[in-house]
Structure 1
């Protein structure tokens, strides 16, 4: 993995926690919540079971997809070795190797108005670094969640808790959620589907070849 900083991440604004919890399969119209909103923060947090805390390295990535469900260019894959999409509308704010501490462990900033029109979906993925090699799975996660925050005022718009979706999982990754564009509107979809094969396998499905060694 790239040698980049290791810490817990906090937004520059104080996050106001809401009770807008959603469940797997649910879809929320973000634009309807605030038609003037452009900048959002996607935050993902988790704890690890004690026996995995020193060895399990969880990564958050996202893919900017066109109408065919594929990336347009390599920089549409935003992860620990490519922290920003080429257009600057999607920025990964850093890699936490331990998931230690309270609050968000990794965050991704999205400028909804700046996303190129040909990008109709942004998918957010969790993957365990060398999970197959270490025989580690998503079942090692506790208190995992993803939430969406209005970056301008710190208001939490929704929260999707993943504890039930990772319980007993034998997968090394998960498609957690997606942002779907419908004309001028953006919708958040809670997906929660397990994926096996590691980050390289996931990226290959989107027409990207990744060397993670």
Structure 2
């Protein structure tokens, strides 16, 4: 883990893919966090990109504990009120986070073992869009009580056959909350991810 240089404000520990880290081991009082995600997209295409963030709240079997336990732009709050989505950003222009998720760890249902954060490209196949045209994507976690960034993961792998990215996971482990920077791309669209994680789509 390296500490990034430069920039203003508190910059969290920079993680590499698969480098799991505890969020609560040295911060027992950590409760309200912000998960910020950002990216840049190619601007020379005729159809603007619309990237979206989704959160799948999984049980011990790596499936959602119910169809409602899937937070996205059309359902901004989880049933237990622990996960709140900032809403859809349709352009990705500008500096900083493009979309954010607030999580109150103490309110997460005991049935939920893992929060999976995914970025999908809306209508990617029809529009000919993919992650080969995305750059500077990242996920970061901020302690809202101090506004201090705890960790950051900058994605480094962008492939033209990828239209969705499992960016990271926050999960329970031995009474701790840990973060796993995943960074795995897939050719599944949002519907395919819903099937993967057990969401029954009407």
TM-score after normalising by structure 1: 0.87
2:157 is equivalent to residue 165 of structure 1: yes
Is the 1:128–1:137 contact (alpha carbons within 8 Å) kept by the matching residues of 2? Answer: yes
Alignment match of 1:66 (pick from 50, 59, 66): 59
Alpha carbon RMSD of aligned pairs, Å? 1.5
Match of 1:9 in 2: none
Which of 175, 179, 183 is equivalent to 1:184? 175
One of 120, 140, 150 as aligned partner of 2:143: 150
The Cα of 1:54 is off from its aligned counterpart by 4.8
Partner residue, 1:174: 165
Does the residue aligned with 1:32 lie in a helix, a strand or coil?
A: coil
Q: Contact 1:54 / 1:98 at 8 angstroms: preserved in 2?
A: no
State the 1:52 CA deviation. Answer: 3.9
State the shift of 1:133 in Å. Answer: 1.3
Find the counterpart in structure 1 of residue 4 from structure 2: none
Residue in 2 aligned with 1:204? Answer: 195
2:31 aligned to 27, 34, 38, which one? Answer: 38
- Could you tell me which runs of 5 or more consecutive residues in structure 2 were left unpaired when the two chains were aligned: 1-7
Matching of residues 52-131 of structure 1 within 5 Å: 52=45, 54-131=47-124
Q: What secondary structure is seen at the aligned counterpart in 1 of 2:191?
A: helix
Per mean C-alpha deviation after superposition, the further-off stretch among 44-53 and 66-75 is: 44-53
Match of 2:11 among 9, 12, 18: 18
Stretches of 4+ aligned residues off by more than 2 angstroms: none
Q: TM-score, normalised by structure 2?
A: 0.92
**Alignment-derived partner of residue 4 in structure 1:** none
